[in-house]
Chains A and B, each alone.
Chain A
Amino acid sequence: MFAYLVRRVIGAVVLLFIVTAVTFAIFFQVPKLGGATADDLASRYVGKSAGAAQIHETAVRLGFTDPLYEQYGRFVKGLFVGQEYNYGPSTEHCPAPCFGYSFLTQQPVWPDLVARLPVTASLAGGAAFIWLVTGVGTGIISALRRGSVLDRSLMSVALAGVSLPIFFTGLLSLSIFSYGLGWTVAGGTNPMDETNPIWWAYSLLLPWVTLAFLYAASYARLTRAGMLETMNEDFVRTARAKGLTERTVVMKHGLRSALTPILTIFGLDLGLLMGGAILTETTFSLPGIGQYAVIALRVNDLPKVLGVTLVAAFFIVLANLIVDLLYAVVDPRVRIS
């Protein structure tokens, strides 16, 4: 078990390095393959009036002319000890977890990410709670009442949920509940503005529900399929043969096995969302990481995009690791082989 744990952690760290390297290469090498020179890159960071010599000088100072591995090495080092950017007139310091430095806004990326992460985390966490409860609950009820009118209607709703995109359900719910009925706030507010938890929940309610609806629908379908399968397993028959109540049979014997694969998917979904729920944040104008990425992409601010990508990759890898370890906790066959 210990060896397994260590192996997984090492694997996760190695994976993160590979992901940063690949992302780094894509962001800084691919434009060059498209014909852009180091000077072209640097030209984005100096004023329009700058001459070619000045641009080239900047490119050299920023290290764009160095071989890629050196640039990557500096970047990784920056993650741990911070980095200096010699920016011509002034030298900018980017402190310790240096996730890059935006030359457009002349600010390090990391503080922006830190400021925006709570919004994204609130959105993802709250929505995850809602979809887990409703999705899995719906799935169980549907499975136990298989073929009934209730089952069929729930599954039709779920099918709709899976197939409707967020910007559609989001805009629809905004126009009904916010603009129409005035029950919730319109987009554009920051739920972290006040320390009041009621305001927090109130301003996030609509995004939560909208995002959760999409996921709840697919979780309901997954849970239903999983439950139908496990309730046919021999060990469920054994549980019934012991004389356990149907409730115990379903909750203790059926659900526990059916939920194990869902656990995996849940971890990955949550990890993915922590890197920014781009559509939801955009639709509801929430100042989260996803929105940050969209804005940065629009103005081609590569260091910011790179920073977001790395955060997203980190959460996905972390989620993966946690899921694997949880799996070992839940399933003794993984733990004791």
Chain B
Amino acid sequence: MSIEEIDSTAVPGVVPPALGEELLSVEGLVKHFPIRKGLLQRQSGAVQAVDGLTFNVTRGETLSLVGESGCGKTTTGRLLTRLLEPTAGKIVFEGRDISHLSEGKMRPLRRDVQMIFQDPYGSLNPRHTVGKIIGAPYKLQNVKTEHGVKRAVQELLELVGLSPEHYNRYPHEFSGGQRQRIGIARTLALRPKLIVADEPVSALDVSIQAQVVNLLEDLQKEFDLTYVMIAHDLSVVRHVSDRVAVMYLGKIVEIADRVSLYEKPMHPYTVALLSAVPVPDTKRKGNVKRIRLEGDVPSPINPPPACRFHTRCWKAQDICKTTEPPLLQLAPGHQAACHFPENQPGGESTIPVSTAQAK
């Protein structure tokens, strides 16, 4: 199959890491958007969209970023794919620092790092046929395909569950789920190593959402893909992820493997998020004690000092307002940034965990 015949190493001289090795590592990543104000439009502050992220992504895994809207998930995704230039910090992909690579130097890397967007319609040019859209990456990157671009595109269409006959159709002739498949096919054209998927199923109906989730999982197995999945639906996140990073106001407050995070969440914010998920189970109605966060997320222009969550946290003490809790490893593969974490190993759990009761 022609897709597999494409040389998978875009950057010569770099040995692709084997499964389980670190593919991407991010250190102290910051993105501030300046705000201009007043008569002279001087910079009066900044939207601290992303403010110091450190994490890594292992080859073949799915790492999800979750958090309320505005917490910087999309910005992170755009930084990782270098659609944005970081204000500070380092992004290392396959051992190479790509934080400030120029557009030209990024180009070969664009084959390896691809992005899927939430709005499948907005990201597809309505005047181009599906064939042209999916074939575009080959042209852009000057990639030779064995049986021509058309064959390759048709194979991709089949791969994502569309019919090769759809080659000459236009995006508007497809349903939302099918458009997302087109977007995925385009992403796969160059056999990327890392796919950053920004809310890929949020706009889809439940039944279609399940189809696309399954497709993403199948493709991951087939092509050893690594995903950074951005999502806000915690049920979907649990289904697709190996590890989960919880973000609040531009910072990672907790990062852990799936089981540990969902069964023993440590950061109070994570606990609150999990407790807010509505569950299709009538027996739970009314008789589960819920943690309800008060109010809204503060503005990222003037985030609260020290622990950014202290304005809404029910466990907040004075220290939370003065000293920022560092992101610490509190259990194997489980980091959290809180002075008074829940579910610490050895410590007692004060809050019932949402997953624990239903079994």
Any B CB within 8 A of the CB of A299: no
In angstroms, how far is the closest chain B Cβ from the Cβ of A334?
15
Bound: A3/B39 CA distance, A: 6
User: Quick one: CB contact mask for A1-39 with B, threshold 8 Å, 1 for yes?
Assistant: 001001100100000000000000000000000000000
Report B31-68 residues with CB < 8 Å from chain A CB.
37-39
Bound: A3/B38 CA distance, A: 6
Interfacial chain A residues near B37, Cβ < 8 Å: 3
Bound: A10/B40 CA distance, A: 11
Q: Tell me the A residues contacting B by CB distance below 8 Å.
A: 3, 6-7, 10
Report 6 cross-chain contacts, Cβ distance below 8 Å, ordered by A residue. Answer: A3-B37, A3-B38, A3-B39, A6-B39, A7-B39, A10-B39
In angstroms, how far is the closest chain A Cβ from the Cβ of B156?
38
Bound: A55/B38 CA distance, A: 54
Interfacial chain A residues near B38, Cβ < 8 Å: 3
Bound: A262/B39 CA distance, A: 28
In angstroms, how far is the closest chain B Cβ from the Cβ of A273?
33
* A10 nearest CB neighbor, chain B only: B39
Bound: A7/B37 CA distance, A: 11
Q: Tell me the B residues contacting A by CB distance below 8 Å.
A: 37-39
Bound: A7/B39 CA distance, A: 6
In angstroms, how far is the closest chain A Cβ from the Cβ of B167?
35
Bound: A6/B38 CA distance, A: 10
* A6 nearest CB neighbor, chain B only: B39
Bound: A320/B39 CA distance, A: 19
Tell me the dominant secondary structure on chain A's binding face: helix
Bound: A10/B39 CA distance, A: 10
In angstroms, how far is the closest chain A Cβ from the Cβ of B336?
37
In angstroms, how far is the closest chain A Cβ from the Cβ of B252?
31
Bound: A227/B135 CA distance, A: 42
* A7 nearest CB neighbor, chain B only: B39
* A337 nearest CB neighbor, chain B only: B37
* B37 nearest CB neighbor, chain A only: A3
Interfacial chain B residues near A10, Cβ < 8 Å: 39
Bound: A6/B37 CA distance, A: 13
Interfacial chain A residues near B39, Cβ < 8 Å: 3, 6-7, 10
Top 6 closest A-B pairs, CB basis?
A: A3-B38, A3-B39, A7-B39, A6-B39, A3-B37, A10-B39
In angstroms, how far is the closest chain B Cβ from the Cβ of A337?
10
Most chain B beta-carbon neighbours within 10 Å: one of A3, A6, A10: A3
Interfacial chain B residues near A3, Cβ < 8 Å: 37-39
In angstroms, how far is the closest chain B Cβ from the Cβ of A237?
22
Bound: A6/B39 CA distance, A: 7
Bound: A7/B40 CA distance, A: 8
Bound: A7/B42 CA distance, A: 13
Bound: A7/B38 CA distance, A: 8
Interfacial chain B residues near A6, Cβ < 8 Å: 39
Bound: A10/B37 CA distance, A: 16
Interfacial chain B residues near A7, Cβ < 8 Å: 39
Bound: A6/B41 CA distance, A: 12
Bound: A150/B39 CA distance, A: 51
In angstroms, how far is the closest chain B Cβ from the Cβ of A335?
15
In angstroms, how far is the closest chain B Cβ from the Cβ of A19?
22
In angstroms, how far is the closest chain B Cβ from the Cβ of A21?
23
Bound: A167/B37 CA distance, A: 49
In angstroms, how far is the closest chain A Cβ from the Cβ of B20?
49
Bound: A135/B136 CA distance, A: 48
In angstroms, how far is the closest chain A Cβ from the Cβ of B146?
51
* B38 nearest CB neighbor, chain A only: A3
Bound: A166/B37 CA distance, A: 46
In angstroms, how far is the closest chain B Cβ from the Cβ of A292?
39
Bound: A325/B37 CA distance, A: 18
In angstroms, how far is the closest chain B Cβ from the Cβ of A220?
31
In angstroms, how far is the closest chain A Cβ from the Cβ of B63?
36
In angstroms, how far is the closest chain B Cβ from the Cβ of A219?
31
In angstroms, how far is the closest chain B Cβ from the Cβ of A319?
23
In angstroms, how far is the closest chain B Cβ from the Cβ of A141?
33
Bound: A193/B38 CA distance, A: 50
In angstroms, how far is the closest chain A Cβ from the Cβ of B42?
11
Bound: A293/B308 CA distance, A: 66
In angstroms, how far is the closest chain B Cβ from the Cβ of A11?
11
In angstroms, how far is the closest chain B Cβ from the Cβ of A208?
42
In angstroms, how far is the closest chain B Cβ from the Cβ of A268?
25
Bound: A240/B39 CA distance, A: 42
In angstroms, how far is the closest chain B Cβ from the Cβ of A324?
16
Bound: A10/B41 CA distance, A: 14
In angstroms, how far is the closest chain B Cβ from the Cβ of A265?
27
In angstroms, how far is the closest chain B Cβ from the Cβ of A241?
25
In angstroms, how far is the closest chain B Cβ from the Cβ of A227?
27
Bound: A6/B40 CA distance, A: 11
